[in-house]
Structure 1
């Protein structure tokens, strides 16, 4: 498996707007998604690629490049642009076939992490096959395009089954917990916070952001509070042997120990 650290709050920025790269880099996002796809007009695709090539080395954040989907006029050009770039992750939109991913990796010419963006019913149906590709490190949910493909409302109840399936299939494939889709309403911070809480409750490992002000809202929702961190520290400190014991009247076995370590990991506390 390729080296990759799953982000919690990666931020989209149009690759055609290099004037925004620095702001995104300073936003607190744990990865930047330079978007060559939906955020870039067809006439600006080549200029966007040039911006990625020219500015990548100056960014301190981990970089994910969302390329154009397989079968589009810009897909091959995007892959060609990435052949000379190191330390990038690919996000493949409209992911539906494993061979699209393997062909992209072969075209780039080196092992590169790939995030499969699930935006269609076909992509969801073939998710087990997509996650079985060696370079695929995680899935992400393109909920807006997915609802468009199904002709359903972009609402929680309509998308609940799809979200849950992406989570449990990711776990079954031993891949990182997936990223939830974007919150498009930028006028209501409470909506973003509520969407993040919903995603976290379902088991998503993070959420895609489309504006810098959403980044901290996402990270805060995934950051354990002080009481939870104290509980986790207490559990880990008293279960070094790995044996099931009682801690403050609570029966602690392996799943509870694993949950405590996960909490400390999210709080950036080494165990």
Structure 2
């Protein structure tokens, strides 16, 4: 699965929902949480049956961000998303795996009755308790990726969402995801200022260097930046192919480490090149 770009769309906005499938995002997150006014949450939930097939009509992964502020809303959102055919849930404010286990127990009989595959989870780490428990959250039921809720995380610490404040928490979440063998979404800064394309491009390049798989965005103009930034470039692909050819030739001669284009190469570098080509083939 390749998820470079995950575009948030308010679940109560027909104008944005109708256009979401045209934006080129790898995944569409239909938001029932922060982007929806309290008075519109029930109608947004009820509309999932119509909206999810619409946003996913060109093959994007369809995800629903649910409410977790109280259990009744959480379970109702999760059930509606399941009934509507969502591929996954974005689960905000996860402080421990207990919340994920509760959702798992709730969804299993619904999925069995509908004879559908299990939905998967992306926990959002948004407070210091979740940050302390992130390793156990990463190995919780149905989890296939982790992400940080930068604005909420900063707010929970009485901090400002500056790059310096968010960098260490986001890296800790990222490392927990990689240790668990799952995907990691995010940039090492807040993504609220989507108009600053220069800064965004630099942040995407940095996140790619750190091994992040993709990131969310709130504006469709950012999708192309994410798709391009989290994809191997033509030059990277070409170099990886040449490096692997040289590695195969060296191995045939019984040589492990060798020099390629003036640089020392050993097994980790070859492994990284092969992984890059695998990503490119997707």
2:92 paired with 1:80? no
Q: How does 1:191-270 map to 2 (within 5 A)?
A: 191-240=199-248, 243=251, 244-246=256-258, 247-266=260-279, 268-269=280-281
Q: Secondary structure at the match of 1:163?
A: helix
2:178 paired with 1:159? no
- Matched with 1:54 is 50
Q: Given the two structures, how large is their TM-score scaled by the length of structure 1?
A: 0.89
Q: Higher Cα Rg: structure 1 or 2?
A: 2
Distance 1:18 1:106 in 2: 32
Q: Secondary structure at the match of 1:191?
A: helix
Q: Secondary structure at the match of 1:195?
A: helix
Query: Unaligned 5+ residue runs, structure 2?
Result: 112-117
2:182 paired with 1:175? yes
Give the structure with the higher percent helix.
2
- Matched with 1:32 is 28
Indicate the RMSD between aligned Cα atoms, in angstroms: 2.2
Q: Secondary structure at the match of 1:10?
A: strand
| Shift, 1:16, TM fit | 0.8
The answer on whether the counterparts of 1:185 and 1:191 sit within 8 Å (CA) in structure 2 is no
Distance 2:265 2:120 in 1: 36
146, 149, 152: which one aligns with 1:145: 152
4+ aligned runs moved over 6 Å, structure 1: none
Judge which range, 135-144 or 180-189, deviates more: 180-189
| Paired residue total | 265
The answer on whether the counterparts of 1:79 and 1:108 sit within 8 Å (CA) in structure 2 is yes
| Shift, 1:95, TM fit | 0.7
42, 45, 50: which one aligns with 2:41: 45
Judge which range, 129-138 or 249-258, deviates more: 249-258
